[in-house]
Structure formats: C-alpha cells, structure tokens
Amino acid sequence: MQSQTFGLDSAPECGICLEDFTSPASLPCGHCFCLACIGEYWRTDRPYQCPLCKAVFPNRPQLNIDHTLQPEDAAVPLKAGEVPCDSCQTKRQAVKSCEQCMASYCAAHLAPHYQRIELERHRLISVVKNLEDSVCRLHGRKLDMFCRSDQSCICATCAQTEHRRHRVLSIKREAQRKKDWLKRTMSKLQQNIHDKKRIVEKIKLCEEDPNQAWMQNKKVIEHLEGEISALEKRNHDLEHLTHTEDDLHFLQAAVMAKVQHING
C-alpha cells in the first residue's frame, strides 16, 4: 500500500484531527496519525482499520510512536482551570482522565492506554479536576449508583447497607432522567424569558400620557428586566451543565444545581 508522504515546505498533519502530529503512530499500511486520534478511533469503531485507506487489520496493530515526526515537547505553565498530569514531574496539562486508574494524563503519559491491550478497556473521560469525587469516601469503591431517596451518588456497598431500603438506580439511568429534566427546565426558562421580553417590548411601544402612568411603566420594566437577567443567568448555568460529559459528574453537578435553584 502507498505510504503517507509530506511536503518539505509544509508541516505534516494527522489525517483525523487535521492538525500537527502529537505522538505520531504509524499503522502497518503506512499511514500515520496522532496516537490519541487513532486510539480513540479504534475505541469507538470496529473492526480495526485505517481511517484513510480503510485497510482492515485482523488483530489490533501495535502502535509505535514515530519520534522523527514528534514536535519538541516543552513544558508550558498551566493556565487557570487546567489540570496537571498526575505522572509528570514537570506537570504538563492533562488531556484525559481515566476512571479505572483514578488519574489524569498528558498526551505522553496517556499513550499506554492506546498501546496496551489490557488498558484499552479503561474508560477515558474529559479531564476531571477532582477524580476523588468519583469514589465513595466511606467504602473506597466507585460511585456507580444513585439514591433517589437521598439524591446522592453511592457505591454498590452503600446500596446494600445504608441505602438498602431506598430507591436506587444506576448512574446511567438516573443521568438520563436528569438530562430529560434539564431539557424541560431549559425549555420552560427560555419560554419564560421570551414572554417577559415581549411584555417589555409592548410596554415600551405603548404610547401613554407621560405622567404617573409613565413612571409606573418604568418601574414595571425595571422589575421585568431584573427577572429576565436572573432567568438568563439560570439558563446559562444549565447550558454549561449540558456540556458535562461524564454521567457521574453530570449527576453531581445537576443535583447541586437543582438544590441551589430550590434554595435560591
């Protein structure tokens, strides 16, 4: 098969992300991709094949990093909100978190999860700042159940002991229920915002005698605009919540958001 070639006057690019290579890995067919790109591609797509030429490999090929195409890797100071790699001495930015390893990794230290078959089944998620929030502090086990009675995430041991008579669901099932609730709540908020804005527009367009009625309308408008501002902030917070990838952390954030809304 024809190998991938690169022009001397242009930087080589990964055929999946279309950006400069990060830890380039060569396939038996000769095509080259970022190790993370082809690793994630094979996690979600079977059989093992090349995304470009569609060559199918009967067994998972060994992904070897081509260091000749690897850009210089210099440590960059972390920005606010970025999570450091748990395996780096220089603390580079983590790009993924592993639920099984309970650690976050930079691109270099994440490589074994794409190269070693025994690590391929580990669930990689978007970087999580506090992975310890995924583990039961009482039993040290993964939080994979949800107690609807107490509105809390629990482990399997909790479900059999402290929460034995409570209504318990899987994290996945409860997360879907919460996502449905989130959609309904956001739809109502957006409709409420729309309705209040229409009222404000009608009042502003209404030509009244510029006396006491005008002053009264001004107060009504100010009150409505205050309510609109509060509703828009609430909608923005819920919109941010929808981008939480992991079901467990989505649930934890959703429960907190709902409690804050009730108490607020």
**129 or 241: whose pLDDT is higher?**
241
Residue 251 contacts residue 178 (beta carbons within 8 Å): yes
Domain-embedded: residue 94: no
CA neighbours closer than 13 Å in the CB half-sphere of residue 52: 20
Highest mean pLDDT among 48-52, 75-79, 99-103: 48-52
Domain-embedded: residue 212: yes
- State the CB neighbour count (10 A cutoff) for residue 194: 10
Domain finish residue from 71, 88, 121: 71
The yes-or-no verdict on residue 172 having pLDDT over 60 is yes
Interatomic CA distance for residues 143 and 137, integer angstroms: 9
Omega before residue 24 within 30° of 0, cis: no
Print the domain residue range for 29. Answer: 1-71
pLDDT the model gives residue 92: 84
Going by pLDDT thresholds of 50, 70 and 90, the confidence category of residue 196 is very high
Domain-embedded: residue 3: yes
pLDDT in tens, 229-239: 999 998 888 88
Domain finish residue from 15, 40, 71: 71
- Summary mean pLDDT of the chain: 80
Domain-embedded: residue 97: no
Domain-embedded: residue 17: yes
pLDDT the model gives residue 73: 53
Domain-embedded: residue 184: yes
Domains contained in the chain, number? 2
Domain-embedded: residue 114: no
Give the position of tokens 């002991």.
161
The yes-or-no verdict on residue 96 having pLDDT over 80 is yes
User: For the domain that residue 2 is a member of, what is the CATH number?
Assistant: 3.30.40.10
Domain finish residue from 15, 37, 71: 71
**239 or 214: whose pLDDT is higher?**
239
Residue ranges with strand state E in 66-121: 96-98, 103-105
When mean pLDDT is compared across 94-108, 149-163, 175-189, the lowest value belongs to 94-108
Domain-embedded: residue 181: yes
Q: Is-above-0.85 flag for pTM?
A: no
Average pLDDT over residues 133-140: 80
pLDDT the model gives residue 166: 94
The yes-or-no verdict on residue 5 having pLDDT over 60 is no
The yes-or-no verdict on residue 240 having pLDDT over 50 is yes
